Amino acid sequence: MELTPSPGAVPPAAGRPDRTIVGQVSPNWVTTRLDFLVNWARSNSMWPMPFGTACCAIEFMATAASRFDISRFGMERLGYTPRQADVLLCAGRLPFKLAPVIRRIYEQMPQPKWVISMGACASSGGIFDTYAMVQGIDTVVPVDVYVPGCPPRPEGLLYGILLLHKKVRGETIADPALRRERVFKQGDLQIPARLIDELSEPFGNSIHQTRSA
Amino acid sequence: MNPTVDSLRRAFGTTIGRAFVSCGQTVVYVDATELRTVLRWLKESPDEHYEYLVDLTAVEYRDAERPLEVVYQLRSLWRGAELRVKMELLNDEPLEVDSVVPIWRAADWLEREVYDMFGITFREHPDLRRLLMWETYKEGYPLRKDFPLRGRFSRAEQVRQALAANPEAHYSLEELSAAQLQDDLPGDMRERLERGERGLIAEPGESDDG
């Protein structure tokens, strides 16, 4: 049976069923109450997927252990399988060889999903301004919260997690773009090439380094 | 000075170059042509018995006149003696050395690392592939002095090439099933697999089994 679209509704793209019915709802009392409930549940039971590559992972372990205890925030269940995780927590520097790996792990996580970039190296390359290191994981996967520090103390990571909670509480199901899955092709960049080169301009002791782009 | 140097000079004559002591460690230079004979003698001669290859690496000096060196750090667990054997790769010659995998199996990944980082080819190595960088890495040999610290390509190009790589293709053949391998591997690796070349390394030193 063919449904007649109501006047003013955006027609679905050719050959693809329209699944964005929620997106056509404008925010009202029902959606905001529902948002509150959903976001309360989501932000208080985030399951992290730890991607620990370096010393930041040690600080993450301290955060997860009893003194700092992230189970206070509903995160005690560390899922080492991306299909049962909500937060990808990249703790440590990311070499180029691991870039396709973290991309694949991110793609395997179901929506809704968030990413925390923990430490200076994950966020910007840090001291490793070399041929082997990704200069910030946001060139590979989208990042929600950056935690600075080398490595950050557990309090710093907890503050980052609380910031993520705050961000989640501001989300709404009336925004159709929020949870849309972006499909990467192999070799696709997460941000434009020009931006990557701008972000990783020479700094620190490598300012005299020649680069043949 | 380690007395092995004198025994080497008696056995091989002019093939043995200069020798000196550096920080208590005896360093001896060996000519490229007789390298494998000398190393095998060092391992199998009952008076020397350097059965343990501690490390195999290479050096490039900042002085452009000095040639690249391949370094073999040997230890005799039997006698508690150590010896550092060096070999110079002359500037105008191709960077090629005989592989010592037939003598010490431990040299397999060490030589792959030297090939990866310096671009030195090891003749008769059973499986000379990059070890640390991925197989499709195109920027050259990172530990050479003419290699810029940040690599040759722009950051965006580096990220693109890294993301285009297939993460599964980097694992060794043993870690994957044959069905998984067929589509993912580079052509030359697939050929080597089909010829069954892996795992056919000659067992080192049949004589000193007992």
Task: Confirm whether B79 is domain-assigned.
Answer: yes
CA distance B176 to B181: 7
**Which residue has better confidence, B193 or B34?**
B34
Q: Which residues pair with B145 in a beta bridge?
A: none
Q: What percent of chain B has pLDDT over 90?
A: 20
Confidence at A203, pLDDT banded by 50, 70, 90: low
- The per-residue pLDDT for B177 is 59
On the question of pLDDT at B184 being above 80, the answer is no
* Site of tokens 């060794």: B172
Report whether pLDDT(B85) > 90: yes
**Which CATH number goes with the domain that contains B54?**
3.30.460.80
A contact residues 123-162, partner B, Cβ 8 Å cutoff: 129-132, 134-135, 139-140
* Residue B103 resides in a domain: yes
Residue B65 lies in a domain: yes
What pLDDT, on the 0 to 100 scale, is given for residue B200? Answer: 45
Q: Has residue B104 been placed in a domain?
A: yes
Contact B149 A206 (CB under 8 A): yes
Residue A211 has a pLDDT of 44
Q: Is residue B163 part of a domain?
A: no
Whether residue B191 has pLDDT greater than 50: yes
Segment A72-110, tens digit of pLDDT: 888 878 878 889 899 999 999 999 988 888 998 998 898
CB contact under 8 A, A187 and B160: yes
Determine whether the interchain pair B163/A104 forms a contact, defined as Cβ–Cβ distance below 8 Å.
Answer: no
Instruction: Give domain status of residue B191, yes or no.
Output: no
B103 pLDDT above the threshold of 70: yes
Closest-CA residue to A99 (of A135, A46, A143): A135
CATH of A47-199, one of 3.40.50.720, 3.40.50.300, 3.40.50.12280, 3.30.70.100: 3.40.50.12280
How many domains is chain B built from?
A: 1
Chain A from 96 to 115: CB within 8 A of any B CB = 96-97, 99-101, 103-104
Q: Quick one: pLDDT at residue B197?
A: 60
Element spanning A204, H or E? none
Kindly state whether residue B22 falls inside one of the protein's structural domains: yes
Question: What's the rounded Cα separation, in Å, for the pair A154 and A161?
Answer: 10
Show the domain range for B100.
Answer: 1-132
Choice among B36-40, B98-102, B200-204 with the minimum mean pLDDT: B200-204
Average pLDDT value for residue range A40-57: 90
The arithmetic mean of pLDDT across residues B178-196, rounded, is 66
User: Do the strands B16-22 and A145-147 form a parallel or antiparallel pair, or are they unpaired?
Assistant: unpaired
Confidence band of B160 (pLDDT split at 50, 70, 90): confident
Of B151, B160, B166, the CB nearest to A189: B160
Closest C-alpha among A43, A26, A41, A28 to residue A175? A26
Mean pLDDT of chain B: 82
